Structure 1
Amino acid sequence: MTHIPSTSNRPRQPGYEYICAEAYYVAIDTHQHLPLFEDVQLRMIVERAWRALPDRFPAVRLDAWAVMPSHFRAVIWLNEPSTPMAFKPSIGTVVGSFKAFAAVQWAAWLRDVAPERPAEVWQHGFYEQFIRDAHQLTNVRRYIGTIPDSHINSV
């Protein structure tokens, strides 16, 4: 099994165009690495936000993903848009939208149910790794599928 580090704010590859039809491994940590996703309601909000991405960005296709107590891991595809005038999102735009949507939904739920709880969900930034070939894609999917204490999903 290939180990994929979970560091955040990794520098981008110089000269690489990140708006392309390719697969990415994405890792996102919770605020202060707390086990926030042990809360079933927050985990459901995160799962709904992730599943909604293709509705917001038609060029996005979801692959294997997992919600762990203190982080989220996924493979996401950025495909060419179906029409020439369609919006081509970058991986940063897609992940930022996902994080924002989940955080807003969580804050709204807390206001109604548990206003004393802190609303922070995510650590700043995220880690992404461009998946270069089918072998690496298989290894990343296997890695996501074997993470202990996770809720594994595949589309």
Structure 2
Amino acid sequence: MAYDRIPESTPIRRLYAADEVKDFIAAVLGKPRLYRSDDPLDAVMIAVFREGDELGWHFDRSEFSVTVMYLDAEEGGHFDYYPGLRSDDDSNYAGVQQVLDGDSAGVIRLPSSPGTLAIFHGRHAMHRVTPTSGSTPRINSVLTYGEDSGMRLNELTADLFYGRTQ
């Protein structure tokens, strides 16, 4: 669910608008200042993973991500990541291929429960959400912050994630 479809009165919108939260995340990351996204779709999104849904292994384009967990799936829906698998100077294709081939050495499963706030470096940490099963979905939000003001998705990415650009 895109940001523009989340009512302003919801707790997640109020949390995202709070300067104290933004400043806390900046402090945790050692950043002098963070900005909220200006994107009408991607500033905050809510992801619902139903039976069989997953998010395969990937890296983020952004340096870091911030998530809030609402509901754990009945089964599966685990967040697995491999911290520091690559760097700006080394894409580590061999290491990435090992993980894709099923080698779990170095993979960490992040424990979570409803209310968990997670801040992680997704650009260098390969990560995924494992397939879910059962009638209870996995529901979480992604909050978008960055070091530059005026952040927005490009049209291709907006269309890919939301099926629209505005």
Q: TM-score, normalised by structure 1?
A: 0.28
Q: TM-score, normalised by structure 2?
A: 0.27
In terms of fraction of residues, the more helix-rich structure is: 1
